[in-house]
Amino acid sequence: MKENKLTPGSNMMWEASRMILPEHKERINDYQKERDIKMKPELAEEEVSIISQQLSDSMLSKSKITVELFRAFGQNAFKTGIVTKFDTQLRQIKLDFDDEYEWIKFHEIVGVS
């Protein structure tokens, strides 16, 4: 039996099985992402009410707040700024920070401090 320089002592018949097709690689990557996904915590009615009050207070008093945004992959994001607008139709807030702004969807918010 002739030895393979890639895998000493292996049988050449199985060397082709080391190759991964692109669609298999894609599926493996999808599986790993699905496995690492986090579920969004379900906020109690009281928590939603407190968050809404804090967002309103920021807009009325023009005070800075930090909004925690849920991210399914990786760490949650934190944005600090002043709420300047509520869009109840699109269910989002406008958060101003450092001469910039960002529209944040209500459903992304999991905490405010």
Q: In the predicted model, is pLDDT for residue 92 greater than 90?
A: yes
Domain shared by 8 and 63, yes or no: no
Degrees to nearest 5, angle at CA 73 with 50 and 52: 10
Q: What is the per-residue pLDDT across 98-109, written as a single tens digit (0 to 9) for each?
A: 889 999 999 999
Distances in whole angstroms, Cα of residue 113 to Cα of each of 14, 21, 102: 58, 48, 18
Q: What is the per-residue pLDDT across 22-79, written as a single tens digit (0 to 9) for each?
A: 888 888 887 777 776 778 888 889 999 999 999 999 999 999 999 999 988 778 899 9
Backbone angles phi, psi at 6, to 5 degrees: -75, -40
Beta strands in the chain (DSSP E): 65-69, 77-87, 92-97, 100-105, 109-112
pTM given for the model: 0.65
Q: What is the pLDDT of residue 79?
A: 93
Tell me the CATH number at 106. Answer: 2.30.30.100
Domain shared by 13 and 56, yes or no: no
Domain shared by 12 and 52, yes or no: no
Domain shared by 32 and 49, yes or no: no
Domain region containing 101? 45-112
Q: What is the pLDDT of residue 18?
A: 65
Q: What is the pLDDT of residue 64?
A: 94
